[in-house]
Structure 1
C-alpha cells in the first residue's frame, strides 16, 4: 500500500527525479513509437496487457465490459463513466484531482457500445500511484447520493442536450437501433428519448459497477510501461476487485442479431443519413469490407486533389457535405457504414451516389489501379490507428476481453493484401442482396426513403 499521508513531499520527490533515463536524441525518436505488440499476462485473475514504447510518459487504463450493449437498464454506462474519479473509501474526489495535478497527470473516462475505459496519463515514474488509483476507483468508489444529485445528474443532463442537437450522432444511433434492436442497438448517446427515469440513480449505478468491474470483465492496458512492472503493481492493488458479479443487476450478455430496417426522425438542427450493412466481428474479420470502405470513401487524402475514392469523385465538390465510410467491428457483429451529413439536398444526392457506387463495385466496375489504392489506404488506416494511444488501447483491451488476446496489427494487415477484384465484387453483391439499416435525421421532406435509393430494408 502506497501511503500518501505526506503527499506534497512525495510529489516534490517525484518531480525532482528524471521521468525517464535520458536517451540519445536519435535513439529516443526511433523508439518512441507506440506501434509495438502488447504482451498479455494473467495477474490474480485480471488480464493485463502492456507494451513499452520507451517514452517518458505512460498511459494506463481499465477497459471494462460496461458499454451500452451490456446495460441491463438505460443510462447506466453513462452514469458509471461519470462516477469515475469521484469519492472512494480512501480519497475524496477533490483529493484525487489535486494529487494527480501535483504529479502532472491526466484523468479521463469514456464509453463505447461495448466498453467503458477509465484512463490516466502520467510520467512513467508515477506508475505505482496510478495503478493504485485505478484499482481504488473500480473497487472502492462510494457512489454517494449527494454526488449523483449535485454532479452526475447535471453532467448527464448536459450530455443529453449536446447529443440531442447532433443529427450525425442521432443518425448513427438510429442505424444501430434498426440493425440490432437491443444490445448493440442501444443508444450510445443519452437523449431525451432515452428513458433514464426511474432506472438511473446512484444505487443502480453501484449495482452495475459490481458486475462490470468483476475481474473476468476487465482488462488492464498500459502503453509506456513494461509488462513486469505493470503486473507487479496490479497484483498488489487489484486484489479487492471481485472475482465475479457481486450484485443482482448483472450484465446484458444477449448475443447480437442483425435485423435491418429504417428509422426517420425529423430535426431542425441539420441533416444526416447513415446507410449500413452487416459487417464483420473481431473473430471473423472481413478484409474485403475494409477495402470496400476505403474504395467507396468520400474524402480525399491529398490536399487540392479530388481523391481516388468513388464518392470523392462524384460528390466531393458538394459544399458543406461530410462523408465518412467505415467498417466497424464488435465482439460478435459488425457494420459497414456510410454516413452523409450536410444540407438536405446534398445528403440526398450523396445517398443516391453511395448506392450507385456499391452497385458499380458489385458489377465489377473497379479498375486495378483503384483497387491497389484502396488496399494501400485500408492498410494505412489500420496502421495509423494502431499508433494512436487511445484507439489502440481501447481496441486491444476490448479484443482481449472478448477473444482472450489483443488483436495483433500484423493479423489485420496481411489479409488486406489478399483482397482481389473478384472478392470485392462478391462482398458488394452480398451487401446489396441483404437488408440495409438506414438512419435518417433532418428534413424528411427532402431526405430519401431507403426504397427510393433502391435498398431493401
Structure 2
C-alpha cells in the first residue's frame, strides 16, 4: 500500500500524466468552452443518429435509445415486455451465448423504459467497442420474440413488477396522477395494472411488430460515452446499416405521437399497503425540446421535501412544513417529457390522518409561494439546487443517455447542458411567484391511495379539479 506521504509527493506528477493521457484521447474534440468530456459530439452513420462523449478512462458505454416507451404502446404492456426481451435470443446467438460472451469480456448489459423511451445499454472495456456495437445492432434488428420466452419467463417478471407497484402506494399514486393528468399517451401506465386484461393483448407476433417499428432508424439514436468519436462512427455505420429504415405498418407498431393534452381531475384507490397522496399540476417540458421552463425547475427545488443532506431534514419549504407531521415523506418532482411536464408533490405515510394533514400543509405552502411570501434567500438556494440537479442529471450516465438520445430523435441535437444552466441562473423571484400562481389557477391532478374513508378529496384541500 502506498503511504500518504508517497502519494502526496507523486500527486502532481500523476495529475500531469492524467492530463496528457486525456488530451491524447481527444479525437474529434468538443467545443472548447465546454468542460472536458461534458458535451456530446454528434453525427450520422448509415442513417443512424449518434452522439459521443469522449470521456477519459478505460471503460465505455454504448446505448440504444428508442422512441418506444409506454406513451406509444398500441396495447398495454408492450413497452415493458419489449424492454424485458432485450438480450434474449437472436437469429445469431442464443440468450445463453450472449450471457457467456459478455461475461468473458467483463461487460454489463441493462435495459429500462420510461414513458417515452426504451434504453438498452452495454458497459465494457473500451477496446471491446466493436463487439458490443455488433451485439446491440443484432439485439434490435435480429431478435427472436418467441412464445415460450414470453410465457415462461417474461410474464412472470411482469407479475413481480405489478406486485411491487401494489406494495407501494406512492408509486400507485404517481401512476394514477399521470393517468388523470393526460388520460392516454403519457397517461399510459409504465407497467399494466394487475386488473388489466394484459394476456389477451400480449402475443409474440405483436411484440415482434412493435419491435420492428420501435427499432427503425427514425426512432432510435445511439449514445456513447468513453470512446473515440471516429471509432463510434465507424462501428455504428458498419453494424447498424441493416436496421430498418422505416417504421412498419403493422397494427402492433408504436402509435404515432399525439400532442400531449393536460386534463386534470381526481382518482381514489383503496389500499391496505399504506397511504399516499399526489398533487400534480402542468409542469415543464424536457431540456431537449422547446417549452422548457427554468422557473418550474426552481419552483420544484424551492418546494423540495426530501433533504439533500444526510441525517438532516433540510430547509426546503416542504421539509419545514412536514416537520410537524411525524413519519411522513414529502417530495417534489417535475416529470419532464418531450411536449409536456407534470410537477407533482408526493405525500406518503402509514397513517391516513397524518398524510391528510400534511397534504393540507403542502397546499398552504404553495399558496404562500404564489403570494410572494418567500424569502429571497430561499429562492437563491433553490436556484443553486435546480442548477446542480440539471447539471448532475446531464453528467449522470443513465439520465444523460436518455436525454441525449431523446434530443437526437426529436430534434437532431444532443442534449447540451450549458444553456440549461444559464437559463436557471436567470430565473427571478417574480418568475417563481408567477409559476406558483399559474399552478393554482390550473386544474390539479389529484390521486389518493390508501384509507379512502380518511384521505381527503381535492376540493377539501382547496384545489380545483
Of the candidates 448, 451, 454, which is equivalent to residue 440 of structure 1? 448
Judge which range, 82-91 or 188-197, deviates more. Answer: 188-197
Q: Which deviates more from structure 2 when the two are superposed, residues 207-216 or residues 440-449?
A: 440-449
> Which deviations, in whole Å up to 9, do the C-alpha atoms of 1:235-294 show, x marking residues without a partner?
110111000013413322222111000111000011111111001213211111111111
Q: 339-348 or 414-423: which moved more?
A: 339-348
2:112 maps to 110
What secondary structure does 1:335 align onto? strand
Could you tell me how far apart the structure 2 residues matched to 1:390 and 1:24 are? 33
Aligned residues of 1:274 and 1:339 also touching (Cα < 8 A): yes
- Aligned counterpart in structure 2 of residue 193 of structure 1, from 166, 184, 195: 195
Is residue 371 of structure 1 aligned with residue 379 of structure 2?
A: yes
Aligned-residue offset at 1:438: 1.0
1:44 equivalent to 2:52? Answer no
Q: Distance in 2 between matches of 1:314 and 1:155?
A: 39
| 2:65 pairs with one of 63, 66, 91 | 63
Q: 1:162 Cα shift?
A: 1.8
Q: Is the 8 Å Cα contact of residues 28 and 55 (structure 1) preserved in structure 2?
A: no
**Secondary structure, counterpart of 1:197 in structure 2:** helix
Matched, 1:310 2:313: no
Matching residue of 1:20: none
TM normalised by structure 1 equals 0.92
How many angstroms does 1:356 deviate by?
0.8
In structure 2, the CA distance between the partners of 1:29 and 1:198, relative to structure 1 (3 Å rule), is farther
Deviation at 1:24, TM superposition (A): 6.7
2:409 to 381, 401, 420: 401
- The answer to which of 425-434 and 302-311 deviates more is 302-311
Q: Determine if the alignment matches structure 1 residue 254 to structure 2 residue 258.
A: yes
5 Å-filtered alignment, 1:355-434, equals 355-434=363-442
What's 2:163 paired with? 161
Instruction: Confirm or deny that 1:331 pairs with 2:338.
Output: yes
Contact 1:278 1:431 in 2 (8 A): yes
Q: Which whole-Å CA distance do the structure 2 matches of 1:254 and 1:386 have between them?
A: 27
Contact 1:161 1:191 (8 Å CA) reproduced: no
Partner of 1:274: 278
Instruction: Quickly say closer, same or farther: Cα 1:171–1:104, change in 2 above 3 A.
Output: same
The answer on whether the counterparts of 1:87 and 1:93 sit within 8 Å (CA) in structure 2 is yes
Equivalent residue, structure 2, for 1:18: none
Summarize the Cα distance change of 1:37–1:443 in structure 2 as closer, same or farther, 3 Å threshold. same
User: Aligned pair count?
Assistant: 435
Are 1:455 and 2:455 matched, yes or no?
A: no
Deviations 1:39-70 (A, max 9, x none): 11111211101101111111111000110000
Q: Distance in 2 between matches of 1:399 and 1:326?
A: 21
Q: Distance in 2 between matches of 1:210 and 1:24?
A: 53
Q: Does 1:350 align with 2:352?
A: no
**Larger CA deviation: 100-109 vs 383-392:** 383-392
Separation (CA, whole Å) in 2 of partners of 1:24 and 1:441: 59
CA contact under 8 A between 1:277 and 1:431: conserved in structure 2?
yes
Mapped contact 1:298–1:316 kept (Cα < 8 A): no
Structure 2: runs of 5 or more not aligned: 1-11, 26-34
For 2:83, the equivalent position in structure 1 comes to 81
1:189 offset after TM fit, Å?
Answer: 2.4
2:238 is aligned to 236
TM-score normalised over the length of structure 2: 0.90
Q: Secondary structure at the match of 1:113?
A: coil
1:390-431 deviations in Å (ceiling 9; x for gaps): 111111112221222122111111111111111111111111
Shift of 1:34: 8.4
Q: Hey, what's the Cα distance between the residues in 1 that align with 2:428 and 2:105? A: 52
Unaligned runs of 5+ in 1: 1-22
Is 1:286 the counterpart of 2:288? The answer is no
CA distance in 2, matches of 1:61, 1:303: 32
Structure 2 residue 267 is the aligned partner of structure 1 residue 263: yes
Contact 2:177 2:278 in 1 (8 A): yes
